[in-house]
Every structure is written in structure tokens, then in C-alpha cells.
Structure 1
Amino acid sequence: MMPKFYQLRIQDVKKEAQDSTSVAFDVPNDLYETFNYKAGQYLTLRFNINREDVRRSYSLCSSPVFEEPLRIGVKRVNGGLVSNHINDNLKVGDLVEVMPPDGRFYADTKKENYKTYYLFSAGSGITPILSILKTVLLTEKRSFVHMIYGNRSHDSIMFSTELEQLQNDYKDRFVLVQTLSRPKSKWSDLWTTSKDNSFRKGRVDTEAVEWFINEYPPYAQNAEYYICGPGTMIENTKKALKNIDVPDERIFIESFGGKDSKDTTEAFENAKLTAILNGETIQASIPKGKTILRTLIDAGKEPPYSCEGGVCSTCMCKLKTGKIHMKNNLALTDKEVEQGYILSCQSIPLTETIEVEYK
């Protein structure tokens, strides 16, 4: 099925921290159903920047059960083409091409649930976590939320005012601990910034997660664990949870990027690609340095894709013939990879012929 974009008008642009902005969209009445979403899902935005068609996925920080507009949070990134464009240029009234919500990272909230939710986030990983947090607190009156949120310094904390308000409104069911890796002021100052905030020095690492769960044990034994942030933070959090025997089916992960590492895998130059897309069989040659996805785009085709970072799984297809190397995979499970599914935005050929099929 072809991805469809809709033009949405920007309703609000808000500075959320020193290096981040949130953008709210006005959804017309006739598109309400199309843009209905689950807490934790993302939007894909499309822009034309420097005459290039670019798409990026950003998690919704709004909640589908609060009476609030559709809102995404975007943190500035060094050299980030789209994130910096959004932070520098978007304004109220602008029209933006937006794909309907998608994503496999979400909480299945029900009013009768009695659970303890552990939420782990760092940096802009707060965006889907905030959506889940608000939705759980409003929907599940008997559930508890324990959250730890890591940032570099006090200036970089996104949604600090909103988080403080949620602490005040739900103090009996919501615990928040913020941890800062490079605080700019004295600890004595930080400790008194808010009567309910307890700031901890360091990152969201294995030690911090173990301390956090010991300090705030579950109220309801039915516990779920949601993790969103950069790759290293996710690995450390998952390791700490496995150390206390948390089963995989209770751990939900959304990655916002991996560790910086140079991939030196050599592709097979000018491999012959056969791609089945929307019922059409396409033949093309994959130039050196190009992924399967970019080869199809350059051939004038319209394969499904969003982030081009190996995070969202929109570009997933099945490898029928040949071998490929995925430069990054933050979306597919081990089982999906075993079944032959690949991320075409990250896949380069290792054999002379490659055949893929988009479902």
C-alpha cells in the first residue's frame, strides 16, 4: 500500500528546552479518524530541502486521550538536516506534509488495568514516553508510573513544565527521577529547584536502573517496562532488567539512534536488483554506496519509507534471493530477520543478484 501524505497546518510552535522545539498540528474534522493514534506512535514528515525530498519520523508527545492537538517534539542535532530545519524555520500557519501515525512502540491502555509502568528515557526519547505517561495516568486510575529521565543538563530537559504539572496532578501515582550527566550548577541548587523533583547525577545506565527499581519497587506486580533513547542507554537499561529476570515480553523498546561506529562492509558493486513493488517487477542496478531503497527512489519509483535511519520499519521488505548487509537495524526483531525481512533503507548488496518483495 502506497504511503499517503496529508497537508496539515501548524497550530503552535513552542520552545521546549535550549535545543528543542515542539510542533502542534491542526487536524481537520474529516481527518480525525485517519490521524487517530496510540500512545507511543510517531508521525512521518516530508520536506523539500535543498531540492531534495527528505522524510523523517518524530514521535508524538501528545496523548490521544487528552484534549490536545497532535504534537511532536524535535531536538536539534549536529548536522541534522530536518531537525534543524524544523527548529529554525517552521512557524504557525505553515503547511507540512504529514503521513498518518504509525509505529509498533505503544502502550495498550485500558481503564480496568492495574499495573506498574516503568518508563526509561533519555534526551528526545522523552517524546513517546510522555505520550504513554499521560495516557496511562488519565486512562488507568489504578495504575502507577515510575519514570527516570536522563539529560545532559537542566537546560536540555524537554517538557520540564509539563512534567512538573503531571507530578502535582498525580502525585499519588507518578514518581519521576531526573538524572543529569553534566549539571551546570551546584548540586545544592539543583536539589531545591522543585520540591517534588529529585535530581541524580549521572546517566541512565545499568547502575542507575538497578538503583531506581530498588528505590521504587512495583505497587502492582503486573509490571511493564518501556525504554526510549539512544542505543547505549537502551542496551544498559535492558541489561539491568535482564539481571533481575524481567521477561522479554514485558520490555518494550524504541531506539532513537545507535552508537557512532564506522561500518566498513564492502557492497557488491552494480549488483542486479529485482524488486516487486505494488504489483510491478522492477529491474535496476545498485550503484556503489547506494542502498536498495535509494536505488528504487533514484529509478523514479515510490517505495514506502520514513526515517532512513533504520528505526521505524516503514521500508521493510522481504529478501527472496541473494545476501545483503544491514548497516543499522533498530526496528526488526531477531525473528523477523530470520524470516528474511530487511530494512531496505539500510541494506546494501553482498551478492551479484538481489531480489526483494514489498508486501
Structure 2
Amino acid sequence: MSKFYQLKVINTQQETNDSVSVSFDVPYELYDTFNYKPGQYLTLKFNIGGNEFRRSYSLCSSPVLEEPLKIGVKRVKDGLVSNYINDSIKAGSTIDVMPPGGRFFADVHKDNYKTYYLFAAGSGITPILSILRTVLLTEERSFVHMIYGNRKQDSIMFREELNKLEEEYSDRFSLIHTLSRSNSSWMDMWSSDNKEDFRKGRVDKAAVEWFINEYPPYAQNAEYYICGPGTMIENTKKALKGIDVPDERIFIESFGTEKVKSFVEGIENAQLTAQLNGETISTKISKGKTVLRALIDAGKEPPFSCEGGVCSTCMCKLKKGEVHMQNNLALDEEELNKGYILSCQSIPLTENVEVEY
């Protein structure tokens, strides 16, 4: 069951013209419940205009510091919740928050000796920042190389904090910004008076290849963390595979609005049987509806968060029948082969479908 807790906002801060960070106070009795690994996210629930909305936002705070939970939220065009947070959430606001979740995280240990490659674009910096801070604070022998893509200089989230980390850990942390547009001339950005390194372009295949060549690993035990929109992820992974980086060393979190890759209406009134929270549920799935929505319409409380095929909160196992997943940015090939599906994206293709949460 998806359990939410009311947390009070203790601070909001304008990070850029179109983004804010939101910090939460966690009561002492909930410390264990809200313990997290660097890279994980929080799911927030809102009632806007009489309708319930859930959205997931990655934590940019570090679990090894005694600091409030903090997320970063960037405005999205026509994004109802992201705009609501930017416009309406203030210190003192109370928000329903689910405990941290997600499979995108770094296992950070004091004795590790690794090279971390971090690739971020836009608001994809939020989980990457949590990983970066935690590694630098915990693993004194590890090195971090990071490339961060944005449109312009004034759209760089957490710019001041990143600069401070680069200065403080200059012997173990390399940071490259790459910009698809610029607030000033490229000559100005590369001038000797400019302390930040800027590269022109996006985080694409060419940028990744240049970045790896420019910053070879110190420790041969290297891991690669990628967070950003779909195209950026595809290009980065393609470049890494091109230099023979194994899949088990590549960790991905997709950010940004993804178009549904394919839409199928499915079967009219398919019979759904679901094992959920120790209960066997039987209900019908209307044509074009997902397994998740059918259960919600039946008054049940299946786990879910983003409803975009990104977070894997709604994952369940298909025991019988066939479904079509409209989008899948969360499950890997091994999980798919084992029969796991994202219920928020699954449309029935057979008259009978059985799932187990």
C-alpha cells in the first residue's frame, strides 16, 4: 500500500528563474522511515482543483549529512504540478509525501576506491547532486568526473553549490558545463577571467566521447550514472557502449516528459485478476485503460507514482495473459523476461489478465 505522511516545508529557495528547491522537516519518529540512498526520489501527492495528482522528485540532499530532505523542481511547460510547486508552495506548507523509493542510487561506502562518471542535463542534476555530494563526503579515495548540460548559464540549477564543491574537492572532482545556448559570447566564457569551464553543445555522443577521453579513470573500478531526458540518455548510453562499458556499470534515471511510444486500445472489458496487499481482486478493464487505472477505479490502492513509465513504483508480475506497455523507461530486459510489467502503462491484449504485486 502507498502510505503517505504529512511533512512540513521548512524552506523554499529560487534556484533559477524557472526552478525552486523545497526542503522538508522530518519528525524524529519518522527518521528511519525516510532514510534514503543518494539518487532516490520522493513521491508527492497534491489535491489541485478537486483532483489528486502524484509526482516524483529526486532528492538532491545527502543522506550522510544531518540536513533536511530537499528536492529540486523545474517548471515544465503546461506542467500542472511543477508550476503549482513553483508558484504556491512556501515555508509552512504541508505536503503528503511517500517515503523515499527508486532503484537509481549509488552504494557509497567509506572504503570504496572508484571513479564515478556523472552525466546530467537540466533538472536531471537533482539525483546526480545527491550522489556527487555523498561520494565526495564519504569516499576519500574515489574520484568524480561530471558533465552537466543546460541551455544557458542562467538555467544551471545549483550552480553556486557545484562551484563550491569543485573548489573544495579540486583534487578529486572535475566539472564540465556544456551549453546549447549562451547568455554571452563563447569567447567571454572561455576567457581566463572565467573560473568555470563551459563547452558548447549538448550532452550527446560526441560530448561523452570527448569527456571520457579528457578525463580518463583514476580507479579502474568505474561506474556511470546518467539522468536527463530520453534523447540525452540514449546518446550517452550509446557512447558508453561504444567504448565497451558493460551494462552492469551503467545506471540510468529518466527525467523530462516522454511521449508515449505507442498507443494501443486493447480489449474491451478484459477480465482482470490481481493479487494486491493479500487480497484477490476481480474487476473489468475498460477499453484503453491500464491495469493500474482499473484497480483505482475499483476503489483499490495499488502502488504508483509517476504514471509515466519512469519510476517502477507500479511494477507487478504478469501471471496470465498478455499486455501492451505503452512506455517503459524503468524495467530492464532481464525483468521483462521474468514477466514484470509496469501496471500504469499496461493495456490488456487478451480477455483475461492476471497480475501479482
TM-score range, shorter chain: over 0.9
For residue 45 of structure 2, what is the amino acid of its counterpart? R
For residue 295 of structure 2, what is the amino acid of its counterpart? L
Q: 1:122 to 1:217 in 2, by over 3 A?
A: same
Q: 1:113 to 1:326 in 2, by over 3 A?
A: same
Q: How does 1:1-359 map to 2 (within 5 A)?
A: 2-192=1-191, 195-257=194-256, 259-260=258-259, 263-358=262-357
Q: Which runs of 4+ in 1 moved over 6 A?
A: none
Q: Structure 1 residue 139: deviation in Å?
A: 0.3
For residue 304 of structure 1, what is the amino acid of its counterpart? P
Q: CA RMSD in A?
A: 1.4
Q: 1:99 to 1:299 in 2, by over 3 A?
A: same
The runs of 5 or more residues in structure 2 that have no matched partner are: none
**Aligned residues of 1:4 and 1:99 also touching (Cα < 8 A):** yes
Q: Distance in 2 between matches of 1:301 and 1:53?
A: 15
CA deviation string 1:216-273 (max 9, x = no partner): 1111111111111111111111111111111111111111146535523231122121
Q: Distance in 2 between matches of 1:223 and 1:278?
A: 40
Q: 1:193 to 1:297 in 2, by over 3 A?
A: farther
Q: Structure 1 residue 346: deviation in Å?
A: 0.7
Q: Distance in 2 between matches of 1:101 and 1:194?
A: 42
Q: Percent same amino acid among aligned pairs?
A: 72
Q: 1:190 to 1:67 in 2, by over 3 A?
A: farther
Q: Structure 1 residue 193: deviation in Å?
A: 9.4
For residue 142 of structure 1, what is the amino acid of its counterpart? R
For residue 146 of structure 2, what is the amino acid of its counterpart? M
For residue 215 of structure 2, what is the amino acid of its counterpart? Y
**Aligned residues of 1:257 and 1:311 also touching (Cα < 8 A):** no
Q: Distance in 2 between matches of 1:350 and 1:186?
A: 55
**Aligned residues of 2:304 and 2:314 also touching (Cα < 8 A):** yes
Q: Distance in 2 between matches of 1:114 and 1:279?
A: 43
Q: TM-score, normalised by structure 1?
A: 0.96
Q: TM-score, normalised by structure 2?
A: 0.97
For residue 318 of structure 1, what is the amino acid of its counterpart? K
Q: Structure 1 residue 195: deviation in Å?
A: 4.0
**Aligned residues of 2:110 and 2:139 also touching (Cα < 8 A):** yes
Q: Distance in 2 between matches of 1:157 and 1:274?
A: 47
Number of aligned pairs?
Answer: 357
Q: Distance in 2 between matches of 1:253 and 1:67?
A: 27
Q: Structure 1 residue 307: deviation in Å?
A: 1.1
Q: Secondary structure at the match of 1:337?
A: helix
